[in-house]
Structure 1
Amino acid sequence: MKKLVEKHPLAIRWFHWVNFPVLALMIWSGILIYWANDVYRVGWGDTTLLQFFPQSFYDAFHVDHKLAQGMSWHFVLMWVFALNGLLYVGYTLISGEWRELVPNRGSFASAWRTILHDLGIRKESLPVHKFNGVQQIAYTSVVLMGAGSLLTGLAIYKPTQLAWLTTALGGYEWARAEHFILTIGYVLFFVVHIAQVVRAGWNNFRAMVAGFEVVEVPAPAPAPLQPTTSPDSSVNAS
């Protein structure tokens, strides 16, 4: 027997669908800014194991030499990203949704069981919760990453006016590196998140669009038949 169950309130869905394109555009505009000083790589000395954005990437997407355009987009979207994040955090605090999202003492054990289950190692079915341990840890981490991106972004945008913040983050170069690392974290989150959405199926995706999901519930058991007594049988018994 199937039943419609409400899962995500309207506010949470709005914050989610506003944040997704805004963050994607911020990453794109950040790449335009990064092109002006493309210095990060994995390697040592003259040996490079990984160049984050090789020349072929810039040639394919035509993102070279667009610093002004990237900064314009980035600074406009920054305010939308910050406002949406603050409203989201405020809503979860006021509505009590934070109780479902913030990790608790059992979240890490739940996350480990979920990972084993998703890898096919653990066969037992998982307890049904609105958010499992992996989701609680991931979604809370993204909120903290958003705060980190805002602070590091301000530190490298206004290193003189906000010298105390830039110094607290380790200086301009460290703040820029931290900002870049957080961006890599968003990209990895996107990849894993979308893969999990595809794996979970349409029902899970619909819950974030329409707010409800279809769940299977056991059909109610039929009422037991009550014995009946006829008037003749009661007379005979007497």
Structure 2
Amino acid sequence: MSIASTIRTQIKRIPKGRTFGYADLSISKADYLTAAKALERMQAKDEIKKLAKGIFYVPEISIFGELKPMDSEQLRPYLFKNGKRVAYETGTSLYNQLGLTTQMAFKIKLACSQKRISLNRGSLQVKTVKSYVEITQDNYELLGLLDAIKDIKRIPDCPTKNAIQFFRARLKTMNNQEINKIIRYALAYPPRVRALLGAMLENNQYVGQLNTLKDSLNPLTRIPLRLSETDLPNQAQWYII
């Protein structure tokens, strides 16, 4: 079967509105030039549409006309590379998904450890920030939680008391292996994240690797978060003021 026929067969299996790139077509890089010509012919026939350089989709037609891929689908090529996760949503859009705020993000923020992008595609605007830890499919949700802890004072319309209750409840659902992982990842984050995580785990009666977090903090440095003592009674023991 020719490269063009192989590509056409594979694209027929892709759901309408789903984005795809060369890496999704199971072809070698040596065949990319041939593939590009085949994709150009399919574009000319309106069988596929080009969303961005190297990113395509099979158009879906509704009674209102052609539909573009959903924002989440347009983001997918930037979240994964060669089938591996390399980025995740953070900032207001993530905190909205977590239920910490009802506000919607005007611009989506992606945390990534590799390529930085800036995207402005109609209603979809994206900027990237460097992640604190190398991102994988197994850890991105824990990293998102640490991001939210880091931004506890900047989450829109989210009182600190509510945020702490949310974080403590989420931490209580984790097993020891997950707790050990989030502690290890937290060591790469700013001191306020390590202090808050340690204080909340201690309030949850966790007695595992708290010393790892405590020893990573400078006892001569105070972390000004201005939290209520009723929200976090043991904050002073973690150098939070």
Higher relative contact order (CA 8 A, sep 6+): 1
State the structure with more CA Rg. Answer: 1
Which TM-score bucket, shorter chain as reference? under 0.3
Compare the two structures and name the one with the higher strand fraction.
2
Normalised by the length of structure 2, the TM-score is 0.24
Compare the two structures and name the one with the higher helix fraction.
1
Normalised by the length of structure 1, the TM-score is 0.24
